Amino acid sequence: MVDTRVARFAAMDETMRAACDVQFTGAVARVEHAGRVVFERAYGKTRSDAGARPVYSDTRFDLASLTKLFVGTLVLELAGSGALGLDESLASNLPEWRGRPQEAITARMLLAHTSGMNSGADYRAILSENVERFALTTDLLAAPGERVIYSDLGFIALGVLLARASGRSPAVLVDRAFGSASLGFRPRAAEAASIPATEEDAWRGRVQGFVHDEKAYLMGGTAGHAGLFGTAGDVAALTESYLGALHGRRRDTRVPAGLLREALREQAYDPVLRRGLGWALKTSDENSCGASMDASSFGHTGFVGTCVWADPVRDVQGVLLTNAVYFGRNDIRDFRASFYEAMIQDLGLE
């Protein structure tokens, strides 16, 4: 007897199986259509040696830059409460910027990566630095609002802003806002073996169960740009809060629906990826969402191999969590695009 459920999702399943042990050691793929889970499957193991454990659908992954989506949502919540103006100078909470070009930076600019702040820094050059101070005080590369420069430092600044404006750490804010036991910074040591390993380097050895991003690591594992660990369900729940706002499914009213919709509108044009507020917006078929998703699609990627894209026209989202960096710092755009094209095909949404 043919399992019709497997047959229905054959393209996605084949894409994932072909990539397992080649592009990643472990992965979870989750697809939701009209707010309902239609596909969720785990693949592979946490690493490729004798210490490997199976990956399950509720396995926690290093979310890498998908952290920015959660932090961006916290900023929108602050703005929605009236405690922060998206277009006001942030110098009242970030006095390091007073009297400097940074004084013109707004939360909208940070969320849209138009602050002019540097993208990041080689960790070897900042080993002796206070990374927060470095992010706030290093010289700008462009005038605020001038152009898109994707910036980890900008989201580090947003993490500092959240802490100072609320009086609570980003870790506490994430716990209170999203209420998921599987989502958080700095996993317990007892969990490490069940979390997919990301990389082995000469500095830290095997990176497993603690944050891969070097700047976040130097910050103790909690940062505005990286550091969150979570499941595919955690990422999907966040994405649904935006997608649902477009389709009348308001499950979370912490952020006004108007702000959620504003976050998905183009805030800044870039020929590679247009920018919303926190989110990247599909700009061409060369993006990691592939050719099949609508031009209005929004998403984000994470360096270790994580990804989410949502198509508001088809009301579908796909979360793809992997540890692809385990096999090297290679471009996996083609694999990601193949998965999202398979998703549209399997759901009959061409």
Characterize the bridge pairing of strands 61-62 and 228-230: antiparallel
Instruction: Write out pLDDT tens, residues 298-321.
Output: 999 999 999 999 999 999 999 999
Return the SS3 of 261. Answer: helix
What residues are paired with 54 via a beta bridge? 45
Instruction: Write out pLDDT tens, residues 8-66.
Output: 899 999 999 999 999 999 999 999 999 999 999 999 999 999 999 999 999 999 999 99
Residue 300 in domain: yes
* Domains: count for the chain: 1
201 vs 325, higher pLDDT: 325
Instruction: Write out pLDDT tens, residues 125-157.
Output: 999 999 999 999 999 999 999 999 999 999 999
- pTM reported for the whole predicted model: 0.97
CA atoms within 13 A on the CB side of 139: 1
Question: What per-residue confidence (pLDDT) applies to 250?
Answer: 77
Residue 294 in domain: yes
Residue 104 in domain: no
Cα distance between residue 135 and residue 153, in whole Å: 5
The pLDDT of residue 2 is above 60: no
The pLDDT of residue 3 is above 50: no
DSSP state, 184? E
Distances (CA, A) of 177 to 147, 165, 243: 31, 15, 18
Per the CB < 8 A criterion, the answer to whether 14 and 328 are in contact is: no
The pLDDT of residue 4 is above 50: no
Looking at residue 212, its amino acid is H
Find the mean pLDDT for residues 313-342: 97
Estimate the share of the chain in helix, then strand, then coil, as percent rounded to the nearest 5.
Answer: 35, 15, 45
Residue written as token pair 């199976």: 54
CA atoms within 13 A on the CB side of 12: 26
Characterize the bridge pairing of strands 199-201 and 205-207: antiparallel
Per the CB < 8 A criterion, the answer to whether 24 and 237 are in contact is: no
Residue 272 in domain: yes
Looking at residue 112, its amino acid is A
Per the CB < 8 A criterion, the answer to whether 148 and 275 are in contact is: yes
User: Residue 20 is part of a domain; what is its CATH number?
Assistant: 3.40.710.10
Cα distance between residue 343 and residue 339, in whole Å: 6
Return the SS3 of 25. Answer: coil
Write out the E strands in 98-192: 184-185
Give kind and range of the element (H or E) at residue 165: helix 152-166
The pLDDT of residue 1 is above 50: no
DSSP state, 207? E
Containing structural domain, residue 50? 4-60+229-346
123 vs 98, higher pLDDT: 98
Question: What per-residue confidence (pLDDT) applies to 225?
Answer: 98
Question: What per-residue confidence (pLDDT) applies to 348?
Answer: 96
Tokens representing residue 98 in the block: 């007073």
Tokens representing residue 90 in the block: 């942030």
The sign one gets for the Cα dihedral 263, 266, 267, 272 is positive
Cα distance between residue 222 and residue 214, in whole Å: 11
Question: What per-residue confidence (pLDDT) applies to 7?
Answer: 72
Instruction: Write out pLDDT tens, residues 273-289.
Output: 999 999 999 999 999 99
Question: Taking Cα atoms as reference points, which of 245, 257, 259 lies closest to residue 87?
Answer: 259
Question: What per-residue confidence (pLDDT) applies to 6?
Answer: 53
Find the mean pLDDT for residues 218-234: 98
CB atoms within 10 A of CB 237: 20
Instruction: Write out pLDDT tens, residues 232-288.
Output: 999 999 999 999 999 998 776 789 999 999 999 999 999 999 999 999 999 999 999
Residue 120 in domain: no
Per the CB < 8 A criterion, the answer to whether 91 and 97 are in contact is: yes
Residue 208 in domain: no
Question: What per-residue confidence (pLDDT) applies to 254?
Answer: 86
